[in-house]
Amino acid sequence: MITSFTKMNKNSRVWIYQSSRKLIDSELKEIENLLSVFLSNWTAHGAKLQTAFEIKYNRFIIIALDELNASATGCSIDSCVHFVQELEKKYEITLLDKMNISFKQGEYISYKSINDFKKLVKNKSVSKKTIVFNNLVVDISDYNDNWEIPAERSWHSRFF
């Protein structure tokens, strides 16, 4: 069952998949439709899961799961990962590589490897105040408070 992201329980679990590039409008429309179909049918041991999604900045796919009624299981998480892998193939993007960092440079969102990010830190091209996307947030409350934050308040701070 899909609901509005804003109506989800604040303790709902989240997964964030960052795209290696900005998605174009036609891709976004298709991905939204594919997500709707997948999440409408997403189950754990036959139980329908209460879900929501949003796509931010034409780059981040955020899936939420309210685990109060039914929790994700190994098989249901595997099916979600398989779905995301299919998106990667279809749109020739990377979504599952957690070794890359996205951050803001003005209104532009940059996507770099950790090594390239470290070089930018060394060259002072990014600072502790640079807004980074902390894709390790665990639930909607954490997402709302700690997803888009200065590097000094994130796990990224270790690079400074």
Enumerate the domain spans of the chain.
5-91, 100-159
Q: Is a pLDDT exceeding 90 seen at residue 43? A: no
In the structure, what pLDDT confidence band is assigned to residue 68 with cuts at 50, 70 and 90? confident
Angle at 53 (CA atoms; ends 49, 57), nearest 5 degrees = 165
Task: Give the global pTM.
Answer: 0.94
- Answer for the pair 35, 64: CB distance below 8 angstroms, yes or no: no
Distance CA(128)–CA(104), nearest Å, equals 12
Question: If DSSP codes are grouped into helix, strand and coil, which group holds residue 110?
Answer: strand
Q: How confident is the model at residue 154 (pLDDT cuts 50, 70, 90)?
A: very high
Do 86 and 37 meet the contact criterion of CB atoms below 8 Å apart? no
pLDDT attached to residue 88: 98
With a CB cutoff of 8 Å and minimum separation 6, the contacts of 127 are: 151, 160
pLDDT level of residue 74 (50, 70, 90 thresholds): confident
